[in-house]
Amino acid sequence: MVHDANPPAAVYDPVAGFNMGFDFASGLLPDAAKLQAVYGIFANGVPVMDQQYMRPISTRIDPVDTRASCVMSFNKLIKDVPAMSDAQLIIELQGIGRTGPPFIAGWAFLNLFDAANKLK
């Protein structure tokens, strides 16, 4: 979820930035004891910001369907990202196993700006 840190009538300001939030993940493999997010912003495949990591958060197993879920409650203010219509926020969710190495639990590509360079 991406929210503009500026008032609704304001034009996007890279100095003020925008807020990104991770709320909840569900339907995870039960081997995921913890979940973390790795994210970055790219434009035409070139990094616009350094890759960032969210601290690992413990998951819980749903007794009914035996899948794992995680309440992430993580918000991050991202600043100094220029408005570019080709900028994408790329997020990878990584499961940290009860056994074995970390694994990809999910990912997303989000276009941040429209053709007029307004935050979506």
In 3D space, the residue among 112, 44, 108 whose CA is nearest the CA of residue 82 turns out to be: 112
- DSSP single-letter state for residue 119: B
Please give the CATH topology (third level) of the domain spanning 2-111: Immunoglobulin-like (2.60.40)
pLDDT tens for the chain, 120 residues long, are 555 655 554 578 999 999 999 999 999 888 889 999 999 999 998 999 999 999 999 999 988 888 999 999 989 999 999 999 999 999 999 999 877 788 999 999 999 998 888 888
Task: Return the structure tokens found at 109.
Answer: 């590509």
CA 18 distance to own-chain centroid: 13
Answer for the pair 77, 19: CB distance below 8 angstroms, yes or no: yes
What pLDDT, on the 0 to 100 scale, is given for residue 9?
44
